[in-house]
Chain A
Amino acid sequence: MAEEKKETTSKPAPNEKGNKAPVKKKEEAAAEPLVLSSSPHIASGESIPLLMHNVILALVPGLLVGLYFFGFDALRVLLITTVTAIGFEVLLQRIMHRTVTVGDLSAALTGILLAMNLPAGAPWWLCVVGSGVAIIIGKQLYGGLGYNLFNPALVARVVLLISWPVQMTTWPKAQPFFQRGVDTVTGATPLGRMKESILLHHDLSGIAHLSLIDPFLGHVGGSLGEISALALIIGGLYLIAKRVITWHIPFSFLGTVLVIAALFHGIDPNRYAPPQFHLVTGGLILGAFFMATDLVTSPVTHRGMLVFGVGCGLITMTIRFWGGYPEGVSFAILLMNAATPLIDRWVKPGTFGTRGNGN
């Protein structure tokens, strides 16, 4: 009879026996039928929009620094990617006859993250193509939020980087907003200079004069949202405090980078930059706190997250040291995204009563 009836699911739950309405007893026929459902009967305040909202909030410090140093260019890029990402999501969900879910804020978040991964001077069409790639190829073709294998914003970044390398590596120089002149000069990123110096001089003389305070605060060339390590760390810690993410991925990622950098720097300080240089330059902090921790595309267990973070760190440093690109964070995260299903298959939570008590 009236066993379990889920009132919350739109499609029938598996063991529902087709009885849409709860069974009415004679004596209650007059009153409204009681609601029947499976336990539990209360829920936490957690929701997908709330999670996304918190991530967006955590990105605000990094965004403000980007806007401060890159000015209206940055604002333009941010607006274009966000609006078009939302637009593409609505469009595609309409075309595919799916429920339009832009209210969950995930498309907006993808747009914002994409902007943070683009040079502030990126042409408008690059932004639009990027949003399209992120939402259409990176997300909706997989089935939408929850089903995508790769971080959509990173898919877009890498596609753009491979397809339009010049536009993707033309970095406007960071200038405080109130000091900006008419001309926007471009300059290399610290990691770009490092690569160049090693290729040309086989040592690090090209970055010898660089201060680490600038990239820590954000006064440095680079993608719109990755220039200030400090602002991003503040946002990342906020996410951990809000329990949107746990410490496992960012700390194992950053830890691995630090250990490897320290090891090689110890062996040959003329050729390998010190760990603190690697920590504050490039997209490492943005990647570790905001891209690698993407819920959908990272493992679900704490131990799996540690494996994931260490893998990201290893690949990042391999590319930075010996790869063809100065920066390896995006590739590292995407490769580990691909490994996530395997990690989740192999690294299981240590079930109660099996052996020890898990992690």
Chain B
Amino acid sequence: MKTLTFPAGGIHPPEEKHYTERKTIENLPLPKRVVIPLQQHIGAPCEALVKVKETVSAGQPIGGAKGFVSAPVHASISGIVTAVAPMPHAIGRDVPSVVIDSDGEDRKFDGLSGCEDFLSLSPGELKTKIRDAGIVGMGGATFPTHVKLSPPAEKSIDTVIVNGVECEPFLTADHRLMLEAPEKILGGLSILMKVLGVSRGVVGIERNKPDAIEVMSREAVSLPGIEVVPLKVKYPQGAEKQLIKAILNREVPSGGLPMDVGVVVQNVGTASAIYCAVHDGMPLIERVTTVTGPGIRDPKNLRVRIGTPFSELIDYCGGFKGKRGKVISGGPMMGMTQYSLEVPVIKGTSGILVFREEDLKLKDSRPCIRCGKCVEACPMRINPSLLGVYVEAGVMDELEGNRILDCIECGSCAFICPAARPLVHLIRFGKAEVMARKKK
């Protein structure tokens, strides 16, 4: 059988999954203090529902969603609120957050109730549970899930895809979750299918995780309408548009969303969180994240309460090895470098990656030699070299016509560039400029 993949562009970065792919998920001990940002999603920030000195329990809502594209946040431990103030956040600036000091009891919030026979609930009830649980896309983009589950009437959805690709090098959290909790992921997929009223569910997994393909396939046998599809290994297959192209050969139109081609995509972590929310009544207060890289003494996959500072995860993994260079939230292709180790794990933190000083290859950027390798590598088939040159030269009028807004910032172009040009950086700048002009 021909293994599916998206046809145009893509790269093959070294996978580096060996650090953690065989490490069973461990529960990180309860943190003494959590910092829970009131914004952990794309969209409007939440309003604080608690005050300083108030006692809270795990699962209690502490931030209420303001607006439709928003998701509530919950206390991830029980204890006392010690501050409601701007705190460091992985996006690189301070964000209003609720700080909770633990009482060590991990008391669960009273208002939580699960439902064993979840498929008896109506789509509307299920969607409400998902929204109230504060579930957002856990692959990193953190788009509120209930919004994806509310397509306008004219968009008919026929397929739900669960994204088990995990194409970022080094990261293995999704891989381990598929091995250790396949029933939760598939349960989540069943819920998604029920909410959207579709009969087709697909789990896409790259061939570099044969054990996950096997476990998930075995678990899916009894579930009608759900299939597990092995995919060729190619970055960025985990990008929504590339994944839909690979599995269904449908192309999301430029500027459009997956729902425009009848598809909703959810990451495996999200699917599992949906199951926990509906079945157990547990809001999204913890996630699995990979702590890895050559700069970590003992890399691990950890189940972590939201709001736990990075420093605690790193300490639990034996601390730094060698001279620390970069600490990245997420994978090496799309993750963000951190300036502080006190930033908390949020709903979208798929991994913490540490490079030592000697791993940072400081290559000087040179002028573009027009080799075309970035054009070849670009999965969106735009021309990164040209866009980079335009941004450098300040020729902003040419950017939109050359489809700069289609860039998904996957980093394939900059990865491959022999002249070491910071192409994603330049394009990001150009995109911001184009967006600003559009607003005027």
| Chain A residues within 8 Å of B, Cβ to Cβ | 1-4, 6-10, 13-15, 22-23, 25, 27-28, 31-44, 46-48, 50-51, 101, 104, 143-147, 246, 295-302, 305, 344, 348-354, 357-359
Chain A nearest CB, measured from B40 CB (Å): 19
Measured in the bound complex, the distance between the Cα atoms of B163 and A290 in whole Å is 44
Judge whether B419 and A352 touch: CB under 8 Å: no
Report the bound CA distance from A301 to B376 in whole Å: 7
Question: Out of B92, B382, B416, which one reaches A349, CB within 8 Å?
Answer: B382
Pairwise interchain contact B422-A33, C-beta atoms closer than 8 A? no
Chain A residues contacting B241 (CB-CB under 8 Å) are 352-353
Report yes or no: B324 in contact with A47, Cβ–Cβ below 8 A: no
Partner of A40, one of B92, B360, B365, B411: B411
For the complex, give the distance between the alpha carbons of A351 and B169 in Å.
26
Chosen A-B contacts, 14 in total, with CB atoms closer than 8 Å, are A4-B428, A10-B365, A13-B425, A13-B429, A35-B337, A41-B328, A44-B416, A144-B367, A246-B376, A296-B369, A299-B372, A305-B372, A348-B402, A353-B241
Do A39 and B411 contact each other (CB < 8 Å), given the known contacts A14-B392, A352-B380, A353-B256?
yes
Those 8 A-B pairs whose CB atoms lie nearest each other, nearest first: A40-B411, A146-B367, A300-B372, A38-B425, A353-B254, A46-B418, A295-B371, A349-B381
**Are A34 and B327 CB-contacts (below 8 A) given A47-B418, A48-B419, A352-B241?**
yes
Q: How far is the CB of B430 from chain A (nearest CB, A)?
A: 9
* A357 x B381 contact (CB < 8 A): yes
Is B375's beta carbon under 8 Å from chain A? yes
Q: Which residue of A lies closest to B372 (CB)?
A: A300
Residues of chain A with a CB closer than 8 A to B371's CB: 51, 295, 300
Give A35 to B325 CA distance when docked, in angstroms: 6
Residues in B with CB closer than 8 Å to A344 are: 383, 386
CB pair B416–A15 under 8 Å, yes or no, is no
Q: Quick check: B370 and A146 within 8 Å, CB to CB?
A: yes
Contact partner of B380 among A8, A51, A351, CB < 8 A?
A351
Q: Does B75 contact A (CB under 8 A)?
A: no
B391's closest neighbor in chain A, by CB?
A: A14
Contact residues on B (Cβ < 8 Å of other chain), bracket: 35 or more
Would you call A302 and B337 a contact (CB within 8 A)? no
Residues on A with C-beta less than 8 A from B379 are 352
Residue of B nearest to A354 (CB): B254
CB atoms of B332 and A42 under 8 A apart: yes
CB distance from A32 to the nearest CB of B (A): 7
Q: Which residue in chain A gives the minimum CB-CB distance to B412?
A: A40
A236 to nearest B CB, angstroms? 17
- Known: A352-B381, A352-B406. Is A22-B424 also a contact (CB below 8 A)? no
Give bound CA distance, A10 to B8, whole Å: 33
Contact, CB under 8 Å: B381 / A295: no
Does B19 reach chain A (CB closer than 8 Å)?
Answer: no
Q: A38-B425, A47-B420, A357-B8 are known contacts. Are A301 and B339 too (CB-CB below 8 A)? A: no
Which chain B positions have C-beta within 8 A of A354? 253-254, 403
Closest-CB distance, A11 to chain B (whole angstroms): 9
B93 within 8 A of A: yes
Measured between C-beta atoms, what is the minimum distance from B32 to chain A in Å?
15
Contact (A42, B370) CB under 8 Å given A3-B92, A300-B386, A351-B406: no
The interface residues of chain A lying within 8 Å CB-to-CB of B367 are: 143-147
Partner of B406, one of A8, A42, A353: A353
* Residue from B361, B364, B418 within 8 A of A51 (CB atoms): B418
Question: Closest Cβ of chain A: how far from B134's Cβ, in Å?
Answer: 27
Interface of chain B, main secondary structure: loop
By a CB distance below 8 angstroms, the chain A residues around B328 are 41
The CA-CA distance from A281 to B19 in the complex, in Å, is 56
Check B8 against A8 for contact (C-beta < 8 Å).
no
Verify B375–A43 contact, CB threshold 8 A.
Answer: no
Chain A residues with CB under 8 Å of B392's CB are 14
Knowing A25-B88, A301-B383, A352-B406 are in contact, say whether A9-B334 is a contact too (CB < 8 A): no
B275 within 8 A of partner (CB) = no
Chain B residues with CB under 8 Å of chain A are: 7-8, 11, 13-14, 88, 92-94, 169, 241, 245, 251-256, 323-328, 332-342, 353, 355, 357, 360-373, 375-376, 378-383, 385-386, 391-392, 402-403, 406, 409, 411, 414-420, 422, 424-426, 428-429, 432
Is the beta-carbon distance between B381 and A37 smaller than 8 angstroms? Answer: no
Complex CA–CA separation, A147 to B393 (angstroms)? 13
| Chain B nearest Cβ from A41, distance in angstroms | 4
Residues of A within 8 A of B363 (CB): 8, 43, 47
Given A39-B334, A42-B415, A6–B425 Cβ distance below 8 Å?
yes
B111: min CB distance to chain A, Å: 36
In whole Å, how far is B365's beta carbon from the nearest beta carbon of chain A? 5
- Distance between A293 CB and nearest chain B CB, rounded to angstroms: 10
Beyond the given pairs A14-B392, A51-B369, A351-B403, 5 more chain A to chain B contacts, judged by CB atoms under 8 angstroms and listed by A's residue number, are: A35-B360, A37-B326, A43-B361, A43-B420, A145-B369
From A43, which residue of chain B is reached at the shortest CB distance?
A: B415
Contact residues in A for B429 (Cβ distance below 8 Å) = 13-15
With a cutoff of 8 Å between Cβ atoms, the chain A residues found around residue B334 in the complex are 39-40
A147 to B92: give the CA distance in the assembly, Å.
36
Q: Say yes or no: B339 contacts A36, CB within 8 Å.
A: yes
A41 touches B355 (CB 8 A): yes
Known contacts A14-B392, A27-B342: A37-B337 contact under CB 8 Å: yes
**In the complex, which residue of chain A has the Cβ closest to the Cβ of B7?**
A357
Point out the residues of chain B lying under 8 angstroms from A1, CB to CB: 92-94, 339
Contact B355 A38 (CB under 8 A): no
CB distance from A286 to the nearest CB of B (A): 20
CA distance A27 to B310 in the complex (A): 14
Partner of B364, one of A10, A28, A44: A10
Minimum Cβ distance to chain B for residue A60 (Å): 21
- Whether A33 pairs with B365 at a CB distance below 8 angstroms is no
Whole-angstrom distance from the CB of B314 to the nearest CB of chain A? 12
Do B333 and A39 touch across chains, with their CB atoms under 8 A apart?
yes
Residues of the B chain whose Cβ atoms lie less than 8 Å from the Cβ of A297: 370
Q: Report the Cα distance A147→B370, complex, angstroms.
A: 9
Task: Give the docked Cα–Cα distance between A39 and B409 (Å).
Answer: 9
Q: Give complex CA distance A302, B415 in Å.
A: 20
Which A residues are CB-close (under 8 A) to B169? 42
Q: Among A43, A146, A296, which residue has the most Cβ atoms of chain B within 10 A? A: A43
Cα A351 to Cα B337 with chains together (Å): 30
- Expressed in whole angstroms, the Cα–Cα distance for A27 and B343 within the complex equals 12
Complex Cα distance, B329 from A281, in Å, reads 59
Give the Cβ gap from B216 to chain A, nearest Cβ, in Å: 28
